Chain A
């Protein structure tokens, strides 16, 4: 269990929990971030927003929002070498 913001570039994970405020969770859901969705991190430079891929689309996500999305790293996938 870790936050989406800690995942390195190229890694994959599965969303396990969304942040509490209902409104934010609903926006994330409509853009494809649901519990159980597989995400791939395309850009994460340790600061500033991230770019992720989920349900076949690319999303930019503020670091503050990414920190509040809990993920489980899928052990079967190793980070893809860029």
Chain B
């Protein structure tokens, strides 16, 4: 408990029950996002006041059960047992009540009082299902409160009920699910063996049940915590390996009894709205068209709204704000004001210019997820994704990558399976973003003349082929081809909730600025320093010297000119910087922009020109993408692996294209 009269409530529920809508409606902006200690699972805690009483609401990860062994499930049940909240609120979706009550069946076995929030009664009604809350409450022996969380209906009563139980836990008398008679004797036998043992804070009857279910964590805990008992326990378990099927079956039997009286299906067999939409949205052909149309709209909004907004923001930062700062720093030596204004503030401008695009992309992701469409994109694309070991859900982030790799990386969060998420992150930077495409579009006409369009298409196509190959290889050798099973709920479509989407956009954008922003600013300042020390002459700068040192390496790709190498290196800050750097290095004496590409073309053979573009398309991602990978993977090792991977691929392809091209 946080204070003598304060309450700590946990919020549980399967995915797609509107749990985050409940959480957001109750806590608003007063929420704190972090990670569960030592885990990669996100933890959200919010606060509000109920009848003058401070309430801390802990949002548990959305899981279908508490026994399939995922990290999310472990977090949820460890918190419920060891964090001892005063009560747990279980949100269920009235439209898929049977399946949702399975989690409630598991929650009731834990030593915390439960209140059920029966959400989306409106969606259920639209799908021809009506649920009698009082009947369900009588059957469960647990308070059941009807909710329409999107319209904040029933939330007050829900907290009233939870607070009531928290104050008088002795009044909690639920109808707990039993186990099928066949396995009752063996369960009793294990319970008897464990009697009197203290296994952390876990209730012994729950431990016995989990042992019989074959739960890996609990099995390990008993083996290590009670080694003297282990042999006899193990012997019993070995004879009942299939018990978990019966235990799960027993829970669904219990659920069936609970809902029998409470649920009325007046129009059973009638095609519901969801199935009608799905005939188009999940069709192998029409579904693809719907997906492309959705993307078309998204990119149109990005270019017409987010693009100009980003340019304006960046202009304001590098324009009047920088001038103002330079004025204020008039007293300082040039290198100090340069480092601050051009280096650090330039980096901050980069961070800020991401905001409009992030807002648009997160709003789109949040909207598509909230209405239930995201699962359909995964369904339609799964057959195309699965041969590289990717998940159907990998497709949306990858497609977003054409706009910008940063939201694409952040968007991989929709993939639950960590292995598939990491693999998607590893290949996303091969999707050419607008920055890379802009450089390509600028240089290709000068390099290839009339066949530039073909060259651009070949290069973009080449990137996608490389993406597929890298995905296949990494999946095969790093993840040993272990393809995560494609099993996914297809939620009922429903009307989106503006508050849920708004808070999703706000939380994720802030998180990016906070976590990735620092890294971007620091790296930008370092790169600026490298390019401007010891003198402002580019050739004598550290970056110029590095470029010269790398000339022999570059020569293997036909890029033996340090200026080309520095141009590639500078693309680490932002992909489109390649062109600006070339402009500085080649056009110092005021060559018109149009002339720049032609000037560069004159020093390159066709093979070297092709190699330059191939390397530019596959070179290490920009620092913002790297920061995003670090933020999402929470691992420097994977971040480094991605940098190394891209560097090797870019170099190998550059050498290959130049050497083969020179033979032709």
Interface residues of A (CB under 8 A from B): 18, 22-32, 34-37, 42-43, 45, 47-49, 51, 54-62, 64-65, 80
Chosen A-B contacts, 17 in total, with CB atoms closer than 8 Å, are A24-B485, A30-B68, A30-B102, A32-B252, A34-B245, A34-B248, A42-B275, A42-B278, A43-B282, A49-B486, A51-B490, A56-B98, A56-B129, A57-B489, A59-B489, A60-B379, A60-B382
Contact of B99 among A23, A47, A56 (CB under 8 A): A56
Asked whether B487 is an interface residue with its Cβ less than 8 Å from the other chain, the reply is yes
Query: What residue of chain A has the Cβ atom nearest to residue B372's Cβ?
Result: A58
The CA-CA distance from A53 to B64 in the complex, in Å, is 16
B178 to chain A, nearest CB (A): 16
Assess the A51–B282 pair: CB atoms within 8 A: yes
| A27-B68, A58-B490, A65-B485 as given contacts; A35 in contact with B282, CB under 8 Å | no
Asked whether B69 is an interface residue with its Cβ less than 8 Å from the other chain, the reply is yes
Q: Write the B53-82 contact mask toward A (1 if CB under 8 angstroms, else 0).
A: 000000000011101110000000000000
Assess the A35–B65 pair: CB atoms within 8 A: no
| A49-B486, A65-B485 as given contacts; A57 in contact with B68, CB under 8 Å | no
Query: What residue of chain A has the Cβ atom nearest to residue B391's Cβ?
Result: A62
Q: Write the B80-121 contact mask toward A (1 if CB under 8 angstroms, else 0).
A: 000000000000000111111010000000000000000000
Assess the B252–A30 pair: CB atoms within 8 A: no
Assess the A51–B278 pair: CB atoms within 8 A: yes
A42 surroundings in chain B (CB, below 8 A): 275, 278
Q: Which of A36, A45, A56 has the most CB of B within 10 A?
A: A56
A31 surroundings in chain B (CB, below 8 A): 64, 99, 487, 489
The CA-CA distance from A62 to B378 in the complex, in Å, is 11
A45 surroundings in chain B (CB, below 8 A): 284
Assess the A60–B99 pair: CB atoms within 8 A: no
Asked whether B36 is an interface residue with its Cβ less than 8 Å from the other chain, the reply is no
Assess the A59–B245 pair: CB atoms within 8 A: no
Q: Write the B471-488 contact mask toward A (1 if CB under 8 angstroms, else 0).
A: 000000000000001111
| A26-B244, A47-B383 as given contacts; A61 in contact with B487, CB under 8 Å | yes
Interface residues of B (CB under 8 A from A): 63-65, 67-69, 95-100, 102, 129, 214, 244-245, 248-249, 252, 255, 269, 274-275, 278, 282, 284, 375, 378-379, 382-383, 386, 392, 485-492
Query: What residue of chain B has the Cβ atom nearest to residue A48's Cβ?
Result: B383
Assess the B69–A37 pair: CB atoms within 8 A: no
A56 surroundings in chain B (CB, below 8 A): 95-99, 129
B378 surroundings in chain A (CB, below 8 A): 60
The CA-CA distance from A80 to B268 in the complex, in Å, is 12
Assess the A30–B486 pair: CB atoms within 8 A: no
Q: Which of A23, A25, A32 has the most CB of B within 10 A?
A: A32
Assess the A48–B284 pair: CB atoms within 8 A: yes
Assess the A61–B249 pair: CB atoms within 8 A: no
B95 surroundings in chain A (CB, below 8 A): 56
Assess the B245–A30 pair: CB atoms within 8 A: no
A82 to chain B, nearest CB (A): 8
A70 to chain B, nearest CB (A): 13
Assess the A23–B69 pair: CB atoms within 8 A: yes
Assess the B244–A57 pair: CB atoms within 8 A: no
Query: What residue of chain A has the Cβ atom nearest to residue B129's Cβ?
Result: A56
Query: What residue of chain B has the Cβ atom nearest to residue A51's Cβ?
Result: B490
B275 surroundings in chain A (CB, below 8 A): 42
| A18-B245, A51-B282 as given contacts; A34 in contact with B485, CB under 8 Å | no
Assess the B486–A62 pair: CB atoms within 8 A: yes
18 additional contacts, CB 8 Å, given A30-B68, A65-B485?
A23-B69, A27-B64, A28-B487, A31-B64, A31-B99, A34-B245, A34-B252, A37-B252, A43-B278, A47-B383, A48-B382, A55-B96, A55-B102, A56-B98, A57-B100, A57-B489, A58-B490, A58-B492
Contact of B98 among A32, A47, A58 (CB under 8 A): A32
The CA-CA distance from A65 to B487 in the complex, in Å, is 8
B392 surroundings in chain A (CB, below 8 A): 49, 60
A61 surroundings in chain B (CB, below 8 A): 486-487
B65 surroundings in chain A (CB, below 8 A): 26, 29-30
Query: What residue of chain A has the Cβ atom nearest to residue B94's Cβ?
Result: A56
Q: Which 5 A/B pairs are nearest by Cβ-Cβ distance?
A: A62-B486, A30-B65, A30-B64, A57-B96, A55-B98
Assess the B489–A58 pair: CB atoms within 8 A: yes
Assess the B386–A62 pair: CB atoms within 8 A: yes
A65 surroundings in chain B (CB, below 8 A): 485-487
The CA-CA distance from A38 to B274 in the complex, in Å, is 20
Contact of B379 among A28, A32, A49, A80 (CB under 8 A): A49
The CA-CA distance from A34 to B105 in the complex, in Å, is 15
B569 to chain A, nearest CB (A): 43
Contact of A26 among B67, B278, B491, B492 (CB under 8 A): B67
The CA-CA distance from A23 to B67 in the complex, in Å, is 10
B96 surroundings in chain A (CB, below 8 A): 55-57
A5 to chain B, nearest CB (A): 13
Q: Which of A18, A24, A28, A29 has the most CB of B within 10 A?
A: A29
B244 surroundings in chain A (CB, below 8 A): 22, 25-26, 29
Query: What residue of chain A has the Cβ atom nearest to residue B253's Cβ?
Result: A36
The CA-CA distance from A27 to B64 in the complex, in Å, is 8
Assess the A62–B485 pair: CB atoms within 8 A: yes
The CA-CA distance from A30 to B255 in the complex, in Å, is 13
The CA-CA distance from A35 to B242 in the complex, in Å, is 12
The CA-CA distance from A64 to B245 in the complex, in Å, is 21
